[in-house]
Amino acid sequence: MRRSPFCCVLAAILAVTLVGCGGSNQAEPQPEPAQETTIEQNKEPKFETAPKAPEYGDSATIGALTVSFPDGWKTADAGEGNLYVYPDYGGMMYIVESTFSTYVDDTEDAFDQITAGMENDGVFDVEDEHTSFRVSSLDAYRAKMYGTVESTKFAGWVEIVFYENKACTVIFLVAEEDFAEKSDEIISILDTITIDTSASNSGGSKTSTGSSSKSTESQPAPAPSAPAPSNDSPTVSQANALERAQSYLSFMPFSREGLIEQMEYEEFSHDDAVYAVDHCGADWMAQAVAKAKSYLDVTAFSYTGLIEQLEYEGFTHEEAVHGADSCGADWYEQAELKAEQYLSFMSFSHDELVDQLEFEGFTHDQAEHGVTAAGL
């Protein structure tokens, strides 16, 4: 089974926040132009009225999404306009705005596909039962999620609000033993989420908190090209598989191997999965570049670390190298971001942090630059 970008990054961060620091201690660890029409409103009476939001003293804005939280909670840049927020009682809130290559019509299906992707590496389990309601007159969904990292269990909530071709996501996780006590507060924080529809534009996303702001641009994932015409008509099962494969590629990039495994996870036969993947029109080199960028959207990587991650995702070595070479990353800047991420939740000496960055695959020069630039 494949890791989604959420899974890979959250699992890695939780391994050091909830495991390395203890569950109850403080732990800090691409778009096409937006269409002018708004999301088609679901006519079924399944959406609840959005709850009245409490008032908190601080807030963060990621793209079109704003969420409030108590004063004193620390924040850390997650790269590409995304954000980590660390409660003073431990755990983590992760805020990200994703852009799909197509306009989202069926938001519930999109929610199901995104959360299914979170579950695919066996770390996360998102409950099937979810709440559907409106946030700023847009479709929103919320569900409980659980997981285990290095024998430590955690629990929390995921909320996704859909706006045009965007998914505005907040994931809030704490150690499982703290969940019963903190669940109501987590929900009250999620209740503060608002979406500023006027913030939609084609120039990237903006991240801001009470103390800083940053603008970044993210390139859209390549849409698969039309398959070559064939004289052989597909069977019904092949046509269904092809439609599903193209649907997945509209949400996130995949390797050929990864997409076949995803299709088989969705209970398509191996033959139908292979047919769909071979006829979906994907350029796997371009998919590798898009996948590399999607990882860099949420955390920092070294050059070799990113290649290894892409290979884990099923890309060939050649595709993985092309992805890392073509993603536009500044590896010195990545080293600085990685150093800042480590310092946000743990104390290091200069030499210790250099060693840690070298362990992550950065060169000695990159590691020295990153640690020094991070202020250590």
Neighbours of 119 (CB within 10 A): 18
Neighbours of 181 (CB within 10 A): 11
CA-based Rg of the chain, rounded to a whole angstrom?
A: 20
The residues spanned by each domain of the chain are: 5-209, 222-282, 331-373
pLDDT tens-digit map of 17-26: 444 444 444 4
- In whole angstroms, give the CA distance from residue 273 to residue 267: 9
CATH topology of domain 331-373: Arc Repressor Mutant, subunit A (1.10.10)
pLDDT tens-digit map of 114-165: 888 777 656 688 998 899 999 988 999 999 999 876 567 889 999 999 988 8
Give the pLDDT band (50/70/90) at residue 205: very low
Neighbours of 32 (CB within 10 A): 16
The answer to whether residue 47 scores a pLDDT higher than 90 is no
Ramachandran area for residue 223 (φ above 0: left; ψ -120 to 50: alpha; else beta): beta
| Contact call for residues 144 and 127 (beta carbons, < 8 A) | yes
Specify the CATH architecture of the domain 222-282.
Orthogonal Bundle (1.10)
**222-282 and 331-373 share one fold:** yes
| Contact call for residues 38 and 164 (beta carbons, < 8 A) | yes
Please give the class, per CATH, of domain 5-209.
Answer: alpha beta
- In whole angstroms, give the CA distance from residue 122 to residue 1: 8
Select from 181, 171, 167 the least CA-distant residue to 147: 171
pLDDT tens-digit map of 306-325: 999 999 989 999 999 999 99
